[in-house]
Structure formats: C-alpha cells, structure tokens
C-alpha cells in the first residue's frame, strides 16, 4: 500500500526538504502563497533561518520570471513558529537576465493578527544560462574526507545545545573534527566551523537548498567558546552556481565579534570543487 | 561677504558629503524625502552607488527611531541621473535596540513617470550604545603609509577609466602602489584594491559615510585586468563601529569571477585599528 502511494506520486515520496518548503498559491490573491512551517527544522527553540529562507525562496521562484536565486537578503523580524504561515511576494523589476523581488513571511499571533516574521529582497536569474567562464582564486577548505568527519551521533551527552535538535535528523552533517571540539568542551577559539553537508533522505542539493546550506551548520560562536542561541539579524546569500550531485563542503568563519554582534561568513563548495554559494550573516552573539 | 554667509550657516559651509546627501522631508507625506542627486559623485557615466546608498541611509536615519545603519542592503534597479529624486521610507519594525526599515529611491523619467532606482532594506541601531567588548582576529591590511600611496594626480593619461572622474575631486584617496598597476597597464591579477580614504574637504568619516567608503575605491576588476564599468547588482554593508577621526584604510578583494558575476568584499579600518565596516557586493564583470 505504501508502495502504491509512492508510485502514485503521494507526498510521502517527496524529499523532506521539498515537502516542508512547499508553497501553495492562494486562490484569488496573486503573489500570495500558503505553507506549513515544519517543526522538523527546529534547533534549540527556533526554526532554522536557512529553512525559512528556502521556503520564501521557493515562493519567489514561482512569482518571478527567473528560476534561480542569485542574491537573497533576509531580515529576521520575529520568531517563526511551527504551523500555518503565508508569504506575500512583489515583483519589483523584471529584466531580461535578472529580476528583483520582495517577499514577507507572515504568521498569525494568538489574537489572530498578522505578524511579519521576515522580510526578503532578492535578485533572481537563470544560473544555467550564465556564461561558463570561471576565474577563481578561492580554494575549497582543507578538511578530512567525509568518512573521517564526525556526525551528531558521535557527540557525547551535554554540550552547548540545550533544546531541540530536530534539524539534525533532516541533515547528513559531518563536522571536521578540528572544529567540533566545542561538543566536548574544547572549542578551538578560532571561530571556524567546517563540514560535509547532505540531506538525510539523499535528495541532491540544488540552487534552492543552498539557501538552507549556508545556515545549517552549528554556529561559529560554539567554536569561540560561547553557548546558546545566536539569532540571525540579517543574512545575505549569493548563489554562484548549480551544485553538482553529492555532499557539499561548507566552511564558516567569524573574525570580528564586537558590540555584541558577529559576522558569520559561509562558503559552500560542491563535489566538483566549484564555489557554489557565499553568504554573510550578522548575528547577535550569545551571552555565554 | 562669503565669510558672512558662512557665519550665517549657509550651505556653502557644509561638507560636500553632507550637502549632497541632504534630504528634505516632504510636507504632508510622512516618510517621504526630497533630494537633489549631485553630478559631483559621478564615475565613468554613472553616479557612485555608495553615494546613493549614503543618501538613502540619511533618509532612513531620519525615519527610524535609531540613529545608525548597522546592516544595509541595496538592490540597484535602474541607473540614477543627476537631478531631483525622492525617497519613500517605511518602518518595518521598531524594536528596543534595533529597528528595521525599507526605502526606495525614485526619479522621474522623460515622460514624468516615477521610476524606482534602488530598493533598500536596513537594520538601524545605536552604535554608541553597544557593549564595548571586541574579540577580533581580523587584521588591518599591510600597506604603505599614506604619504607613500598614490593619488589620482599621479596617474598618467589613459588607463581603464574613460568618462567622468568627478568623484575623485570629492575624495582624498591614496592607493597602495601594489594595487594601482592597472593605471599603467600592469594589473596584479590578484583582484585586490587597497587605499587610504578621506573626504577631500576634510570632513571626518562617520557611520553614514562608511556607506560611501565601502564603494569608493576603483573596482577590483581593474586589478584583474578588466576595463570598463562594473555595475553593482546588490550591496550589503555591515557597520561595526563609529570610525575614529582620520583617513580610513579600505581593502577590497575579489576571489570568484564566475558566470559573468563577481563578488567584491570590502573591509574598512579606522585610525584606531578597528574594523568599522564590512561589505560584500555582487556585480556584473566588465566584458573587457
């Protein structure tokens, strides 16, 4: 019976990422999409910001004339909750090779009032149509092979994460041992985090899931010896190429913690050694 | 007579930067500001994007409850022209320590229709109220002292810039000789640009002028051996501190030119060796 459902294209056959970022155009309201935020992408007490961005990115992909996110900026305004949500999109400018869009994610508060969770502005294009020329001096991170990196299953009890780790069940994440010392109380202090990142159900990455990938590793704050939640104020992602199949290598660095804020830079390489995404976020440093 | 005007607070006594980014609230339209875009910040055939961002930043400073830009993202939609313009701002969220705002810059086209030039989303706060704690491993760029760096006056005729260089008269810019070889046909190929940056009239930098500073040096594309205009698609600036008096050191790097697009990262240090701003822009690479 389960097999029949899968053959019939039932939702249970879809990837967790695609299922949980699915958006439905709202009849009679062009540019508005309904969705259900899943608790499956929760970390500590919050829904992961990269997951939220991918969902908004999917709505913009439908609303805009170009298929791929090229540059996406999100401002996180209030804490999203699992459950019903809706996205309103606006086409700011539709050009020949790129279009610009804006989107807001909303939920209802306890009194039923609409509350804005995040606001996004984005440039979309067609990655496959860009010239193939690459001139790069960026090198992939030096890290051990996938088999020698550590998964959450290897972590001892305790550590800086108290609360939900639901998102770890969605990810195939293996951290470079050099940046996982924080899990046993020995952070390097450098502000680095590196790892291999796939999706647990084997779905390959694409341009949309790169919006998740840049924000899916543990925060660099852990490697600085800080504990607790690192709320993102703003996150900007540049998608620079369509990732080849296979796990990504993601490298995060924080170099400047000042005034209670820190930047977290992500660089993402695919299995063909191509730099497929860069991002920077500004986050509030944990107090711990 | 000139002296009397200056004593009376005439506009001629203001700095060029303050005069050319001045915005006037439009009576009866809360959140809307009029301004005059100056031709004095033109490079090649376009008005500098950092100057435009500073003007929009000034309007948001007036509209929002917090004084300082902390994270500002601009999408450049159409080419701005010298002359009348207006900015519409919206307060997205006013929090205790930070507020979020949005703004659009408009001009009229030849038929008098309103055309959007750029769209901005920004988080504002109070830099002076942030905790003084700094934990940084970022180091200022290694470059010669101001006196040994080269100004535009030292440049020979020719070079990759054809068109207006008006902005150079507004800036006190001295480039590291190691990154100015492009001016004599010998780019390093590394994609670097470094220099000292003051304002020509001696006005000290502040949080607002950092929005100009991150986009005021020649493009890194010149150091890659490319010529011509490098139009910015999107620029995000993080202001991390109020700059101490004196010229800034600005370091630009480009590491990945792919698909006809490149990132340009800026880091800005003040005279007290503090990293006061970071930015990244995504730009179209010149064809040359």
Show pLDDT as tens, one digit a residue, over chain B (288 residues): 333 333 434 444 589 999 999 999 999 999 999 999 999 999 888 999 999 999 999 999 999 999 999 999 999 999 999 999 999 999 999 999 999 999 999 999 999 999 999 999 999 999 999 998 899 999 999 999 999 999 987 777 666 667 788 999 999 999 999 999 999 999 999 999 999 999 999 999 999 999 999 999 999 999 999 988 899 999 999 999 999 999 999 999 999 999 999 999 999 999 999 999 999 999 999 976
pLDDT for A3 beyond 70: no
- Shortest distance between the Cα of A253 and any Cα of chain B, in A, equals 11
Question: Does B260 contact chain A (CB < 8 Å)?
Answer: yes
pLDDT for A2 beyond 50: no
Longest dimension (CA), chain A: 58
**B-proximal residues of A, 1-40, CB under 8 Å:** none
Chain A residue whose CA is closest to B261 = A240
CA distance B185 to A235: 38
* A150 exposure class (CB count in 10 Å sphere: 0-12, 13-18, 19+): middle
pLDDT of residue B187: 96
pLDDT tens column, A218-264: 999 999 999 888 999 999 999 999 999 999 999 999 999 999 999 99
pLDDT tens column, A140-195: 999 999 999 999 877 776 666 677 889 999 999 999 999 999 999 999 999 999 99
Tell me which residue in A102, A259, A282 faces B71 most closely, judged by beta carbons: A282
Question: Does B234 contact chain A (CB < 8 Å)?
Answer: yes
Report whether B205 contacts B199 (CB < 8 A).
yes
pLDDT of residue B212: 98
Q: Count of H helices and E strands in chain B?
A: 5, 16
Residues of A in contact with B116 (CB under 8 A): 92-93
pLDDT of residue B160: 66
Please give the domain boundaries of chain B with CATH numbers for all domains.
2-126 (2.40.160.210), 146-284 (2.40.160.210)
pLDDT of residue B228: 85
Which CA distances in Å does B196 have to A191, B48, B142, B147? Answer: 29, 18, 12, 10
- Shortest distance between the Cα of A201 and any Cα of chain B, in A, equals 30
pLDDT of residue B133: 86
Tell me which residue in A75, A116, A278 faces B121 most closely, judged by beta carbons: A75
- State the residue for tokens 């810039």: B161
pLDDT of residue A152: 80
Q: Which of B130, B133, B192, B234 to mutate to test the interface with A (most CBs of A within 10 A)?
A: B234
- Shortest distance between the Cα of A101 and any Cα of chain B, in A, equals 10
pLDDT tens column, B73-95: 999 999 999 999 999 999 999 99
Query: Nearest CA to A35 among A89, A82, A77, A90?
Result: A82
Residues of A in contact with B282 (CB under 8 A): 70-71, 123, 238
**B-proximal residues of A, 70-99, CB under 8 Å:** 70-71, 73, 75, 77-78, 92-93, 98
CA distance B64 to B66: 6
pLDDT of residue B161: 67
Query: Nearest CA to A119 among B58, B59, B126, B123?
Result: B123
A13 pLDDT band, cuts 50/70/90, is low
Counted residue by residue, chain A has a size of: 288
């Amino acid at each position: 019976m389960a097999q029949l459902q899968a053959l019939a294209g039932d939702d249970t056959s879809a990837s967790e990422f695609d299922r949980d970022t699915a958006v439905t155009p709202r009849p009679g309201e062009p540019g508005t999409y309904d969705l259900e935020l899943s608790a499956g992408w929760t970390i500590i007490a919050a829904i992961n910001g990269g997951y939220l961005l991918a969902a908004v990115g999917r709505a913009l992909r439908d609303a805009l004339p170009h298929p791929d996110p090229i540059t996406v900026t999100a401002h996180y305004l209030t804490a999203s909750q699992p459950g019903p949500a809706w996205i309103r999109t606006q086409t700011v400018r539709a050009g020949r090779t790129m279009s610009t869009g804006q989107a807001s994610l909303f939920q209802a508060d306890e009194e039923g009032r609409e509350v804005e969770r995040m606001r996004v502005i984005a440039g979309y294009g067609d990655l496959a149509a860009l010239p193939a020329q690459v001139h790069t001096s960026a090198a992939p991170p030096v890290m051990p092979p996938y088999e020698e990196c550590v998964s959450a299953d290897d972590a001892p009890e305790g550590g800086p994460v108290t609360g939900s780790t639901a998102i770890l069940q969605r990810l195939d994440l293996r951290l470079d041992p050099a940046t996982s010392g924080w899990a046993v109380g020995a952070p390097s202090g450098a502000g680095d985090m590196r790892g291999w990142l796939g999706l647990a159900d084997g779905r390959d990455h694409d341009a949309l899931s790169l919006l998740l990938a840049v924000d899916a590793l543990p925060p660099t704050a852990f490697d600085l010896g800080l504990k607790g939640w690192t709320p993102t104020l703003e996150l900007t992602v540049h998608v620079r190429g369509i990732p080849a199949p296979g796990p990504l290598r993601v490298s995060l660095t924080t170099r400047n913690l000042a005034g209670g804020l820190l930047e977290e830079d992500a660089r993402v390489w695919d299995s063909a050694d191509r730099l497929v995404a860069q991002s920077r976020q500004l986050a509030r440093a944990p107090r711990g």
